[in-house]
Each structure stands twice: as C-alpha cells, then as structure tokens.
Amino acid sequence: MTGLGRIERYVIGYVLLGVLTWFSVITAVVVLIQFVELTGQVGTRADVGADSILGLTLLRVPSLIQILLPFCFLFGGISAFVGLNRRSELVAMRAAGISAWRFILPSAVAAFVLGVIAVAGINPLAASLNARFEAERARMMEGYLGDQPQDIWLRQGDDTSQIVIHAKARDMRGGAVTLRGVSLFIYEKNERGTPVFRRRLEAGEATLMPGFWRLKDVREATAGDSSIRSDSLSIRSTLDSEAAMERLASPEAVAFWRLPKAIELTEQAGFSAAGYRLRLHQLLATPLLFAAMSILAAAFSLRLARLGGLAGLAGAGVALGFVMFFFNQFAGALAKADILPLFAAAWTPAVVALLAGVTLLCYTEDG
C-alpha cells in the first residue's frame, strides 16, 4: 500500500476492520450452529464427548466459512462506509473534491487480493480439514447407521483398461485408504476402445499402496474358468491415497490445486467431472465476487446521512447480498442438473454483482 495516499490507506484499513469484525461474528455463529447440528447427528448415536464433537466442528467450520466469506466483505464494507458517512468523513472527502472512485477502487482491489489468497492458500487447508471431517464423522457413526446403505464405488482406468471397485466398508484413518468386502470388475479395451469384461476379483480387504492395490484373501474368477484363491494379490492402480479420498468425498473437499488432476483422473475413468469443473470455476470467480461485494457495499452506503434513508439503503444492500447468495447456489444447482453451462453458472453471479455495484455507483456518483 506504499503507492496509496493517506485517505486511501485510511479507508482500506477501516473497511478491513469491518470485514474482520463480521468475519469473527459469522465464524462464532457458524461454530455454534455446527456444534448443535453435530451434537444432534453424532452425540445421540455414538458414545462421544463434547470435546470430540467440538473437534469435529472445528474441522468442518473452515469449509463453511469459505461459502459465507462474501457476506463478510458485504457486511463489513457496509458497516465501514456507513460509519464513515455518519461521522461526515465521506462528506468531507467529497467536499474536498475527492471522487468516491478514489477510495472505493483500492478497497475493491484489496478484496480481490484477499480473494486470491483465500483460494490459493486457505482453500487447500479448508479442503484438507473437510476431508478429515468426513472421515472422522464416518468413523464415529460406524455401526450407528442402522440399515442405511454404506456401499462404496470407485473407478480407475487408463488407455488400456478400466477397473470398477465396489466395497461394503472403508477405513480412511492415517491418510491410508482401506476397503473391506471388495469386488473388482476388470475390463480391457479392444481396438475400438470399448471396455470388455475380463475377470472379477473378490477380496476381504484392499489397501491402496503407492501405485497398486494390495488385496488379501482373494478369489479370482475368469469367464469360462474355475475360481482361483490366493492369500494376497497386487493390482496396479492409477489412484493415490489423496485421489481415492477425493473420489469418496464431495468436490468441496478437494483442494483448489488438486482439482485439475481430479478432473483428469475422473474423466479418464469414464465418469463425469462436472462437479469438479463447477467447483474449479467457482473458486476462480471468488476474487471477482469479493471485489463485487466490496463495490456493492460502498454503492449502498454513500447516500448523505442528512438526506435520510441511509439505514433503508444499507438494509437493501444486505437484502441484495442474500439474493446474490441464493442466486449463486441456484445457478450451481442448475449447472449440476446440466441446465446451465458450468462456466456461466460459476461466473454469472460475480459478474452480475459487479455490474450492479458499478451501475449504482455511476448513478449515485456521476448522476
């Protein structure tokens, strides 16, 4: 910020303080709600204490905060600019001939930079913690799920073969993936690239090692031949432990830097990677969304306090923020249903919010 003037630094600092304040408030609310929810889900079904549920809550909270971060910039920006307005500091700046764009654009750029940091640095940590959350919750709920199906399906493949893996249980503790009650259906591709079934393997346990699956208590059946039993067997794998856990988790549990590889492996195995592609585009659009929320916050807070209606205008900005949030979620749902293109669903909310903020600012500032 060495190239910025004193006014710009003052406004940016005030806005960032507002963002930090709302970040703290939203985080506290999310922790409380998530703790209560997990207490209802896990605490009544498993013999776990409050400390275990709190640990589970803290693993989950970062991924939820990522979703709500745009509200931090919107609410923080509105509270900061409304405070400056009520103390007539904005009036003094504009009376001195300073355009609103002079202190709004640096705030938007700062929000954009924080968005880049959130995607590149915070998201991988949140994704890792979310993956641990899903594994820990599954471990705590093991044996308490009644008759709910727990079947697990994985698929791996390359240019010559594909393997469909079915298991009845999993263990993902310690960063290793172990499946139990495993069936492997092995296909080989013919000259036309069509998978042709070759053999089936039944194993009591399968552990994913670097480059291969290690099977125990194996029975191998080939079409037209009798089955063969063996104590152990190794099958080549195109998955690593992290990729396998990503397949078993939601796209939100995959780190930003891992998404391109997850897309490649998923499509190589013959699955649709739409969920991963949508998540990648949404993360790429995050910095622009943060900047748009910062501009919207300023646009709804510049009305002179002596003219009245400032509180109503700020309330309208908050309401518009909720509308944009649900619009973002709705667009994502339409993309997952193949109704909207993934690119449009991910980028449209950020672009619409930015255009709305800039349009309102132009109307307010330039008439």
Q: Which residue has the higher pLDDT, 304 or 326?
A: 326
Answer whether 174's CB lies under 8 Å from 193's CB: no
Q: What is the pLDDT of residue 304?
A: 56
In this prediction the pTM is 0.74
| pLDDT on residue 311 | 64
Look up residue 155 and give its DSSP letter. E
Of 149 and 278, which is predicted with more confidence?
278
Higher pLDDT, 282 or 311: 282
| Lowest-pLDDT range of 115-129, 289-303, 352-366 | 352-366
Instruction: Return residue ranges of the chain for CATH 2.60.450.10.
Output: 159-237
How far is residue 229's CA from residue 202's CA, in Å, rounded to a whole number? 9
241 pLDDT band (50/70/90 cuts)?
low
What pLDDT is attached to residue 148?
47
> 3-state DSSP helix/strand/coil percent for the chain, to nearest 5?
65, 15, 20
CATH of 159-237, one of 3.40.50.150, 2.60.450.10, 1.10.10.10, 3.40.630.30: 2.60.450.10
Distance in angstroms (rounded) separating the CA atoms of residues 37 and 288:
32
Closest CA to 46 of 134, 135, 139, 130: 139
pLDDT at 30: 92
Report how far residue 327's alpha carbon sits from residue 348's, in angstroms, rounded to the nearest whole number: 9
**What pLDDT is attached to residue 25?**
92
In the predicted structure, residue 102 carries a pLDDT above the cut 50: yes
Q: What is the pLDDT of residue 79?
A: 85
**pLDDT value at position 307?**
54
**Helix 274-299 × helix 50-86 angle, to 10°:** 40
pLDDT band for 362, please (50, 70, 90 cuts): confident
**Given this model, what pLDDT does residue 176 score?**
65
| pLDDT tens per residue, range 44-67 | 665 677 788 888 889 888 888 888
% of the chain residues with pLDDT over 90: 12
The whole-number average pLDDT for the span 131-153 is: 66
* 335: exposed, middle or buried (Cβ count in 10 Å: 0-12, 13-18, 19+): buried
**Residues 325-340 pLDDT 10s:** 888 888 888 887 778 8
Note whether 217 and 205 are within 8 A (CB).
yes
